[in-house]
Structure 1
Amino acid sequence: MKKCFILVFFLTSTILGANAQLLPSVQFGLKAGLNFSSLKSEDGGWLDASTRTGYQAGIWARIGGAGVHFQPELYVTGKSSEAKLVGTDEEGKVTFTSLDLPLLLGTRIGLGPVGLRIHAGPVVSFVVDKSIGESLGQVTEFSEYKNQAWAVTGGLGLDISNFRADLRYEHGLSELSKNDAAPQKLNLWTIGIGYRLF
């Protein structure tokens, strides 16, 4: 009877341990950082846009076990660009404040509290505020921007204990301007620091 009990206990412990390894872990944290964005015309021939610094702040989650993980994030992001119409004196600052939702797939290389991550995925942005410099605002091509945009992002991340660091490039897929004659896309680099709460 004692041997039977030990055997049942051993089998139960083994099964529960195996299931625990299969169950995905869940992490949640905060993140803030800087972005360096530029607004570019499709052909590059009529809009000269310089890179300007913006910000991001929000939350992230990571769901997954060994191998691949899913990492949804939600940020308030400020993006801006110094834009100039080529061949004219029309110039000004274009700014966007948006809610950005990256949906990333990634993998982690490393053991214990230190690991290197590789991740990529789509980003959908919901513009909540936009501002166009007075001079540019008088030009037809800059009269209206869309309220939603899609992009794709990818980059590297580093985990050290509860701290997270990320470097990413985001490439705009959507035309931002409602004027089809003036296609524009926003591209940016982001550097972020995060902290895992649990």
Structure 2
Amino acid sequence: MKKLFITLAICLTTAYVSQAQVIPSFQFGIKGGMNLTSLSKSGTFNTSNQAGYLGGLWARFGALGFNFQPEAYVTSKNVTVDDIKAKFTSVDVPLLFGGKIGALGLGARFYTGPVVSFAINKDQSYSNAASNITKLNYKDQNYAWQLGAGVDIRDLSVDLRYEAGLSKQDYSAGSTKINLFNLSLAYRLF
């Protein structure tokens, strides 16, 4: 009798988990977090990592354990290059494709996809720049690729991502690209 109940419980749990992954779903929420930015420059520049912020909206469409997650958020990316502090404020639009495993309010996700960044502000402050000839001339739109993983606990999600710059960040002859890590906390509204 005990084996029958255990077998029945396993079958019901398996059916519930598989059904939860098959049914199409839509989720929508808000997110916020921080990033750590590095500006890679082929050649002469030395850069240091600096913290920034992000905040915005996300949506997730999924079925059969796979999902599509478009997002839009405002982000601040800060770097220091040759005593020049540069702060980029942009609207980033990632289009992520991934998968999810788990059930009963707990799950693990993995994803990857392209990101388009639209610059809103490109501030530069010169601390010791009297003899510095470095001028950072940044583009208004850039492309990158994100990959990462996340954990869902009921309506909360925690994500860790790496973003690799695909396009040059500025108009100079070198290859200047932004790379960053971001850690975010999201809340599902529905």
Q: Give the aligned residue type for 1:62.
A: R
Residue 78 (structure 1) aligned with residue 89 (structure 2): no
> Does 2:149 align with 1:156?
yes
- Aligned pairs, how many? 170
Aligned to 1:6: none
> Following TM superposition, by how much is the alpha carbon of 1:65 offset from its aligned partner in structure 2, in angstroms?
1.3
User: Which aligned pairs between 1:163-182 and structure 2 lie closer than 5 A?
Assistant: 163-180=156-173, 182=174
Equivalent in the alignment of 1:113 = 105
* CA displacement, residues 59-104 of structure 1 (integer Å, 9 cap, x when unaligned): 00000112210000000000001112xxxxxx12111000000000
Cα 1:72/1:137, change in 2 over 3 Å = farther
Aligned mates of 1:127, 1:185 — CA distance in 2: 14
TM-score normalised to structure 2 length = 0.84
Q: How much has 1:142 moved relative to structure 2?
A: 2.4
Q: Which runs of 5+ in 2 are unaligned?
A: 1-19
Runs of 4+ in 1 over 4 A off after TM superposition: 20-23, 135-141
Matched residue, 1:3? none
Asked if the contact 2:31/2:185 (under 8 Å) is kept, the reply is: yes
The answer to whether 1:39 aligns with 2:39 is yes
CA distance in 1, matches of 2:185, 2:153: 11
- Other-structure match for 2:10: none
8 A contact 1:141–1:179 mirrored in 2: no
Residue 161 to residue 79, structure 1, CA distance change in 2 (3 Å): same
Q: Deviations over 1:158-188 (max 9, x none)?
A: 00000010000000011011122x3210000
User: What code does the residue aligned with 1:105 have?
Assistant: F
Q: Distance in 2 between matches of 1:67 and 1:46?
A: 46
User: Which residue of structure 2 lines up, in the alignment, with residue 54 of structure 1?
Assistant: 52
CA contact (8 A) 2:21 2:65 kept: no
Percent of aligned pairs with the same amino acid = 43
Structure exhibiting the larger radius of gyration computed from Cα positions: 1
The corresponding residue for 1:24 is 24
The residue matched to 1:177 in structure 2 has which SS? coil
Q: Distance in 2 between matches of 1:93 and 1:127?
A: 16
CA RMSD of aligned residues (A): 2.0
